């Protein structure tokens, strides 16, 4: 049973690796490569083939080393499925109060996507723990800075975040979700590890760690 909280993992490293398209048979190896690179939070997206089986494998394999959750979660039923397979946090690209409420009913961490202040306040009122500004890459940290003038909840930068702009989001943001800059189908395990090491180092310098 995993005893560490989401907050404890995020304190070690608040970068979430988005594993969109990870193959079932490589799940454990990808988890290991990311762990060796310093990544502690793993998001397996629901539009990945065999996503729930991948979550089960990742949860079993990582034990207490990393925390596994699901991304692109669009319905309360999907929240139920993720919980049954051991996922501990729910990330969505959108703001859906029903998804957020079900996430909290099951004791999971809720990280819905938002882009406008209106969506942010809807998410907060529904019980979200964190907010995922998506897509933020092309709009930059300045957009999130403006939003945070009125949005008190901690914000994750997601969508187009890479080694060229990651530093700009810290310490403004609580974390960042990183997709293809960390993992994409076909990338070697060694390259995943190297890219993770580089991204973690960028975060540490930017956040003053």
**Token pair belonging to 191:** 């390259």
Q: Is 132 a known active-site residue?
A: yes
**Token pair belonging to 1:** 């049973």
Bridge-based pairing state of the strands 113-114 and 131-133:
parallel
Q: To 10 degrees, the CA torsion angle through 127, 92, 132, 122?
A: -40
Question: Which is catalytic among the residues 23, 26, 28, 132?
Answer: 132
Question: Taken in order 11, 189, 2, 125, is the CA torsion positive or negative?
Answer: positive
Question: Which is catalytic among the residues 43, 64, 105, 153?
Answer: 43
Measured CA to CA, the distance from residue 180 to residue 40 in angstroms comes to 17
Question: What are the DSSP E strand ranges found in the chain?
Answer: 15-19, 41-45, 67-71, 89-91, 109-111, 113-114, 131-133, 155-158, 175-178
Catalytically active residues, by annotation: 43, 132
């Amino acid at each position: 049973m995993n005893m560490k909280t989401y907050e404890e993992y995020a304190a070690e490293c608040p970068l979430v690796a988005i594993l969109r398209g990870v193959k079932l048979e490589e799940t454990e190896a990808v988890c290991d490569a990311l762990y060796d690179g310093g990544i502690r939070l793993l998001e397996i997206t629901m539009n990945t083939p065999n996503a729930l089986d991948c979550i089960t494998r990742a949860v079993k394999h990582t034990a207490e080393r990393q925390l596994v959750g699901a991304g692109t979660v669009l319905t309360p039923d999907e929240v139920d499925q993720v919980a049954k397979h051991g996922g501990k946090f729910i990330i969505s690209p959108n703001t859906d109060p029903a998804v957020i409420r079900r996430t909290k009913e099951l004791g999971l961490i809720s990280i819905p996507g938002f882009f406008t202040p209106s969506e942010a306040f809807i998410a907060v009122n529904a019980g979200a723990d964190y907010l995922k500004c998506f897509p933020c890459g092309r709009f930059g940290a300045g957009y999130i800075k403006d939003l945070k003038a009125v949005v008190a909840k901690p914000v994750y930068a997601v969508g187009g975040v890479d080694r060229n702009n990651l530093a700009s989001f810290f310490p403004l943001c609580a974390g960042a979700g990183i997709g293809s800059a960390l993992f994409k189908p076909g990338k070697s395990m060694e390259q995943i590890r190297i890219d993770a090491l580089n991204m973690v180092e960028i975060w540490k310098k930017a956040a003053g760690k």
